[in-house]
Amino acid sequence: MRPLEGITVLALEHAVAAPYCTRQLADRGARVIKLERPGTGDFARGYDRRARGLSSHFVWTNRGKESLALDLKHPEAARVLTRLVEKADVIVQNLAPGAAARLGLSWETLHARHPGLILCDISGYGPESERKAYDLLVQAEAGLLSITGTPEVPSKAGISAADIAAGSFALQAILTALIQKGRTGEGAHLEISMLHALAEWMGYPMYYALDGAPPPARAGAAHPTIFPYGPFRAADGEVILGLQNDREWRNFCATVLRRPDLADDPRFDGNAARAENAGALRAEIEAVFAAFPCVEVMARLDAAGIGNARLNEMADLWAHPALAGLWSEIASPAGPLPALRPPGLPHPAMGAVPALGQHSRAILEECGTPEPVIADLARSGAVTFGEE
């Protein structure tokens, strides 16, 4: 039995933050019913076609869910939504500000009728804000861009950091609320903003700049205050390495550079001195590395107990030996797709990626919708059916 078997989640969601949260609930065994717009569905379905004709974002964040494509503005939709709410243990939504309340899904309305229900509202900047909050915009507002990139050019993270942070904190909050409900029977109202979530991740640079102190400098793939730490050129590419203390520095000089004299050079005595003289030290390091391929440099680093890595691309990650044995296969409208099992779950559900409206008929019937009404909804375009 998976941890969340018997838990039903109603998801009014799009993009990444809420879908990432509810996919992980599905991985843990919850039943997740995803409400989508007829015809178009979650707009993340249209982000790209890179996953064998499907959207890479959608495949990543929506396995294991049931798709109900229903126009919530249709008069009959209100009755269906009422029945779905009655079945739900958890509701997760990241609709536009005010949209959930207009559908009767405010905390005040829901808690009065269903005191054991858990409602998780995910927003960009908090429940009072009506500002649009795309991931890039929140990365900017949270200061992530100010510390990421090169000294000349600020850069966004290459993944949806604000969305992932919000989805991860939403998952934690929901699991905590389910434990609390098991003790008290009471539901909970959880409010997660992308800005708040990413600000929590920004704790180190915030404290580093406490009381108006200068913030961490943008240093590309290097570290703003630790050296040597980051990429260094070898004969056939770059090696990423990191030193954390003076013991490692002495091992690095003796075993990797084979220049034990550098360990006592006053220019490099302690991390602060090494950082101040980073240019001179980089020249010393790369003069040695230039004579060897990356594999030889990494072997020396391993022998010295120095952390190191190659700069991998996506093909390298797919084939990474440390991930061997952690892959599974999921069904999708495009056929079987590889999928990485989530960390920390020995037996994840790993359900299929749904086609738009794939479960519409079954869910409508489960909600007691008569066949003539289903036919009328279909004729009017208020519901669509995918491959069942």
| Region 9-35 average pLDDT | 98
Distances in Å between the Cα of 84 and the Cα atoms of 87, 105, 177, 363 are 5, 12, 20, 9
Rounded distance, CA 96 to CA 125, Å? 12
Confidence of residue 387 (pLDDT cuts 50, 70, 90): low
Closest CA to 57 of 11, 13, 15: 15
Residues labelled as active-site residues: 163
Pairing of strands 8-12, 229-234: unpaired
Find which of 53-62, 209-218, 310-319 is predicted with most confidence, using mean pLDDT: 53-62
Domain range summary for the chain, segments of one domain joined by +: 8-202+324-384, 229-312
Question: What is the CB-side half-sphere exposure of residue 103 using CA atoms within 13 A?
Answer: 24
Cβ atoms < 10 Å from Cβ of 66: 19
Average pLDDT of the chain to the nearest whole number: 95
pLDDT at 386 over 90: no
* 225 vs 320, more confident: 320
Tens-place pLDDT, residues 170-189: 999 999 999 999 999 999 99
Residues of the chain with pLDDT > 70, as a percent, come to: 99
Would you state the structure tokens that stand for residue 181, as one six-digit string?
């409900």
Per-residue confidence (pLDDT) for residue 311, from 0 to 100 = 86
Residue 135 · residue 160 · CB < 8 Å: yes
Per-residue confidence (pLDDT) for residue 219, from 0 to 100 = 87
Cβ atoms < 10 Å from Cβ of 117: 21
Tens-place pLDDT, residues 194-215: 999 999 999 999 999 999 999 9
| Region 346-351 average pLDDT | 96
Tens-place pLDDT, residues 223-249: 888 999 999 999 999 999 999 899 999
For the entire predicted model, the pTM comes to: 0.92
Specify whether domain 229-312 bears CATH 3.30.1540.10.
yes
**Quick one: 259 exposed, middle or buried, by C-beta within 10 A (0-12, 13-18, 19+)?**
middle
Edge to edge, what strands does the sheet with 90-93 contain? Answer: 188-193, 118-123, 90-93, 8-12, 31-36, 65-70, 383-384
Would you state the structure tokens that stand for residue 321, as one six-digit string?
């030996």
**Quick one: 177 exposed, middle or buried, by C-beta within 10 A (0-12, 13-18, 19+)?**
buried
Rounded distance, CA 215 to CA 65, Å? 42
Residue 135 · residue 16 · CB < 8 Å: yes
Distances in Å between the Cα of 328 and the Cα atoms of 28, 66, 336, 352, 387 are 15, 20, 10, 12, 23
Please give the backbone phi and psi of residue 304, each rounded to the nearest 5 degrees, phi first: -90, -5
User: How is domain 8-202+324-384 classified at the architecture level of CATH?
Assistant: 3-Layer(aba) Sandwich (3.40)
Confidence of residue 388 (pLDDT cuts 50, 70, 90): low
Q: Cis before residue 228, ω within 30 degrees of 0?
A: yes
pLDDT at 126 over 90: yes
